[in-house]
Structure 1
Amino acid sequence: MLQPVNVGSKSLADYTHIVGRDLAEELRALAEPLKGLRVAHLSATAFGGGVSEILYTLVPLMKDAGLDVEWQVIYGREEFFNATKLMHNALQGNPQDLSEEQWGVWEQYNQMNARELSPGWDVCIVHDPQPAALYSLVPEKSAGWIWRCHIDLSTPNPATMQRLLPYVRDYPESLFHMEQYVPSGMRGRANVVPPAIDPLAPKNMALSPEDAAYVCNQFGIDVDRQMICQVSRFDPWKDPLGVIDAYRLVKEEIGDVQLALVGSMASDDPEGWDFFNATLAHADGDPDIHILNNFNNVGAIEVNAFQSHADVVVQKSIREGFGLTVSEALWKGKPFIGGDVGGIPLQVDNGVSGYRVSDVDTCAARCIDILRDPALGKALGRRGKEHVREHFLTPRYLRDYLRLFGEIGSS
C-alpha cells in the first residue's frame, strides 16, 4: 500500500476572522453536497517543498468540510528521485533530458505505485510529474482524476515534454498555477488555480518582534543590524549565488548589513546538497552570510522568525513555479524583492506591493532603496499583505477545489 500521511485536524471556523464571513459561508455551501466524497491526494514526498506544505493544510480543511480525504506518498528510491529531479529541471527549461534508462526507471516506479494504489476513489489528485503516469495505468481506480502541476511548464525542454505529454494529456481535469504553464496538446480541461499559504500555520502565524529577534539571535544574527533574507530550497533556479552577489553590492553602499539564506532539504531533491555546498563556497567564509537549513534545526517557526525580523525579504528566482515564500513574506508585512518570473508577478505589483527584478544590480539597488527608507518598506509591506489576504490564503484555494469537485460530480 502507498504510505498515508497523518495531517492532524484543522477547523475552517478558525479562518473566518481572517478571510471574512462571506467566503466562510460560500465554503460551507459548496461543501454541503460533497459530504462523504472520497478524495486521494498522491505526492512524491511528505516534507520539503511547497507541495507538502500546501497539503498539510488543505487536506485537514477538506476533511473539516465533510469530505473523506487521504494523502498518500508514492514509493520511490534514489534512482527514481534522481530521474524525477532531472525531469523537474528539464520541464522548467534545463536542456538535459532523461536517458532511456531513467525514463524506464520512472515508468517502472509508476507501474509499481499504480499497483499499490487502492481502488474506489471519487477523485484522485496526482501532484506533479513524479506519479503522473498513474491515470494512464489504472484509470478504473478512481471515478474522477486531476493532475495538479506545481511547476513552470512555459518553456520546457521539448523532448522531455513530448515524452511526458502522453501520460498527462488525457487527465479529465488538470490544474496549473498560470495560463502560460498549460502545455499545448492537453485534451482534458485545464484549470488555472494559483496555490495559497496557511495564515495560521506556525510558519505564518503572527510572531512578536521580540520573539522573532530572539530566534534569529540563536542562529548568530546580530539583531541590532539590518538583515536581508531569502527563504528557499538550495536550487539553481532560486539563484542564491545571485543573492550573495547582490548582498555584496549592498554592503559596498551600506556596510552594516547581514544576509540569511534559509532553506529546507527535500527528500526528493538529491542534488540539493551539491548546490547547498556550492552556495557555501560562494559565500567564501563571510561571517555576515548565514546559510542555514532544516538540518541546523531550522523549522517552520525559525523560518517565520527570519522572515518577520528581516528588513528586506528576497526571492531572486530565475525560474519559479509559483513561489509561496513570496506570499509568506508579504503576509508578514515585509518589503519584498523577487525575480520577475513565474508566479511572482501574480503576487507582487511592481513598485506598489514590492519590487520585481531581473538582474543582480537591480536587486541590490532596490534593497538599498528599502534599507535607506524604512517608511517605503512599511508601505510596500502593508499593501502586499492586503493583496495576499484577498488572493493567496488557503480558504480561497479550498474554494477552488470544492467548485471543481462539484463540477466533476455533476458532469
Structure 2
Amino acid sequence: MSRPWIDVVYGTRPEAVKCAPLVAELRRRASARTTVTVTGQHRQMADEVNASFGITPDVDLDVFRSGASLAETSSAIFGALAHRWAEAAPDAVVVQGDTASAALAAVAAYYAGSRVIHLEAGLRSGDLRSPFPEEGNRRLIAPVASLHLAPTDSAAANLRAEGVAPDDIVVTGNTGIDALHWQRTHPQRFDDPAMEEVVHGWDRLVLVTVHRRESWGGPLARVVAAVAETVTARSDVVAVLPMHPNPRVRREVVAAVGETDRVILCEPLPYAQFGRLLARAHCVVTDSGGVQEEAPALGVPALVVRDTTERGEGVEAGAARLIGTRREVVAAELAALLDDPAAHARMSRARELYGDGRAAPRAADAIERLLGLARAHSLAG
C-alpha cells in the first residue's frame, strides 16, 4: 500500500518560516510522502529560509512577475496549481496563514478533491479591509478546510463561532515559535559588517518592519516619519528598517526617512540574522503578524502600527500595544518606551503567548490522524 501524499504549498518568506518546522517533522516521520511546492512570490527571501532549514522544494511554480497586480498573481498561482494536480491530486494539501498562495492553493486543492489542512487557522481581525487582503484570504480557506490547526485557544474559538466542527480543530501552538527556537540555537553573524557595528555600538536599537498594503499611500510614510523624528531627538538611539522588496513600499520609506542618518535602511535580512536583530532590539515598531508573535517570546515590547490585529493575545497580555498609524500617536508611544523605564519593563517580560516550540509535532499528529495513519507518535504536550 502506497503512502499518502501531502503537498505543502507556500510562496512568501513568512509562510516558509512557519511551514519549515512542519515539513521537517513530517519528513522525519515518513508516514506519508511529503512534497513542497513553492509559488515563487518571495523568490530570494523564501529561498534563503528553505536553505536555512535544509529544504529543497520539489516543484517551483515560478509565477511571480514584477509589477503584476494582486489579481494577476492570484490567477497565475491558481492556474499553475491546477496544472500541477491535473493528473494526480495529493491526499492532502497544507496551506499556511493568509496569503494569496494559501487561499488559492486551498481552493485549487478543494477543486482537485484533496483534503485541505490549514496551518495557523482561525486568526480574525473582524474587519475584511484590515489587514487587506489577509483577512479575506483566511476566511476563504476555512469553509474548504478539513483540518484547522489553530495556534491559540482564541483562534479555535473564532472557528467554532463560525460553525466549524470542534473535532476538525486542533490547537497546536504556532510553528513560528518552533522556528524561533531553532533560530536561537543557530545564531548567525550579519553578512554586512556595518550591521555588526550597529548592534554592538548603540545603547538602544529600535527595529522597524512596515509593509502592509492597507498602509500604502500615507499611513506607512507617517509611521516612518514618526520613528525618524523620535529617534533623532535621542542621541543614544538608532533605528534599523529592513526594507520590503516591493518597489512602492521602498519609495515611500525612503521618502519618509529623508536625511535622517540614524534610521538605517537595509535589505531584508536572512531569517536567522533578523531573529538576532529582533532579540537585540529595545523595542519593535511593526505591522507584521509574525513579529507580533516573536517579539513577546523574546521579551521585546511591540508597538503594532495597525488599526486592528488578529493577534489579540499580545495586546491583552500587555506585551504589545495597538497604536494605529497617526504620526503624533506613533511618536508619543515610541517616546514613552524610550523615556520611561517602567513602561518598558511592563512590556518586556518574555511570554509564551503563541506557543512552546512544539507546534510541529502536534500538527503532524493531527495530520496523521486525518489521513488514518498508524499513530506512531504520542500527542505532544
TM-score by length of 1: 0.63
Deviation of 1:302 after TM superposition, in Å, equals 2.6
CA contact (8 A) 2:3 2:31 kept: yes
Aligned to 1:40: 6
**Distance verdict in 2 for CA 1:401–1:81, change over 3 Å:** farther
Q: In the alignment, is residue 59 of structure 1 matched against residue 30 of structure 2?
A: no
Q: Which SS does the other structure have where 2:274 is aligned? A: helix
In the alignment, structure 1 residue 358 sits paired with structure 2 residue 353: no
> Is residue 2:93 matched to residue 1:124?
yes
Residue 145 of structure 1, aligned match among 112, 116, 131:
116
Contact 2:284-2:303 at 8 Å conserved across structures: yes
Matched-pair contact (CA < 8 Å) for 1:135–1:167: no
User: In structure 2, do the counterparts of structure 1 residues 182 and 286 end up closer, same or farther at CA, with 3 Å as the change threshold?
Assistant: farther
Instruction: Give the AA of the match of 2:79.
Output: Q
1:243 and 2:214 are equivalent in the alignment: no
- SS of residue matched to 1:230: strand
C-alpha offsets along residues 204-237 of structure 1, whole Å, 9 cap, x if unaligned? 44869xx78x966447578234321123557555
Work out whether residues 154 and 181 of structure 1, in 8 Å CA contact, stay in contact via their aligned partners in 2. Answer: no
Per the alignment, residue 338 of structure 1 pairs with 304
Question: Is 2:209 aligned against 1:231?
Answer: yes
Hey, what's the Cα distance between the residues in 1 that align with 2:73 and 2:302?
Answer: 39
Give the equivalent residue in structure 2 for 1:156.
Answer: 128
Question: Which letter maps to 1:304?
Answer: G
Deviation at 1:381, TM superposition (A): 1.8
Please say if residues 310 and 334 of structure 1, whose CA atoms lie closer than 8 Å, have aligned partners that are also in contact.
Answer: yes
Shift of residue 51 of structure 1? 0.8
Calculate the TM-score normalised by the size of structure 2: 0.68
| Equivalent in 326, 334, 339 of residue 372 of structure 1 | 339
Q: Is the 8 A contact 1:234 1:264 kept in 2?
A: no
8 Å contact 1:229–1:312 — kept in the other structure? yes
**Counterpart residue type for residue 82 of structure 1:** A
Which stretches in structure 1 are left out of the alignment for 5+ residues? 1-35, 87-97, 266-271
Query: How far, CA to CA, are the matches of 1:304 and 1:146 in structure 2?
Result: 28
Query: Measured at CA, do residues 190 and 245 of structure 1 come closer, stay the same or move farther in structure 2, by a change above 3 Å?
Result: farther
Query: RMSD across aligned C-alpha pairs, in angstroms?
Result: 4.3
* CA pair 190-353 structure 1, distance change in 2 beyond 3 A: same
- C-alpha distance in 2 between matches for 1:166 and 1:369: 39
Structure-2 residue corresponding to 1:306: 277
Contact 2:304 2:323 in 1 (8 A): yes
Question: For the residues of structure 1 that align with 2:142 and 2:66, how far apart are their CA atoms?
Answer: 19
Q: SS at 1:77's partner residue?
A: coil
Residues 111 and 396 from structure 1, CA distance in 2 versus in 1: closer, same or farther, beyond 3 angstroms?
closer
Q: Which amino acid aligns with 2:9?
A: S
**Aligned partners of 2:330, 2:138: CA distance in 1, in Å?**
36
1:287 — aligned with what? 261
Aligned residue in 2 for 1:324: 290
Q: Is the 8 A contact 2:187 2:276 kept in 1?
A: yes
**What per-residue deviation string (whole Å, max 9, x for no partner) do you get for residues 309-362 of structure 1?**
2221122x2xx6xx1212322222222222463233223435x33433234433
- SS across alignment from 1:43: strand
Contact 1:230–1:313 (8 Å) recurs in 2: yes
- Match of 1:387, SS state, is coil
Structure 1 pair 230–206 and aligned structure 2 pair: CA distance change class (3 A): farther
- Name the count of aligned residue pairs: 328
Structural mapping, 1:198-277, within 5 Å: 198-202=179-183, 204-205=184-185, 217-218=195-196, 223-231=201-209, 233=211, 235-237=213-215, 240-251=220-231, 254-263=234-243, 265=245, 272-277=246-251
Q: 2:282 is matched by which residue type in structure 1?
A: D
* 1:396 CA displacement: 2.9
Corresponding residue of 1:70 = 35
Q: Does 1:386 align with 2:372?
A: no
Superposed CA offset, 1:357-402 (max 9, x none): 23443333232222223454345222xx2334xx324413531452
Deviation at 1:53, TM superposition (A): 0.5
Equivalence for 2:43: none
> Is 2:43 the partner of 1:111?
no
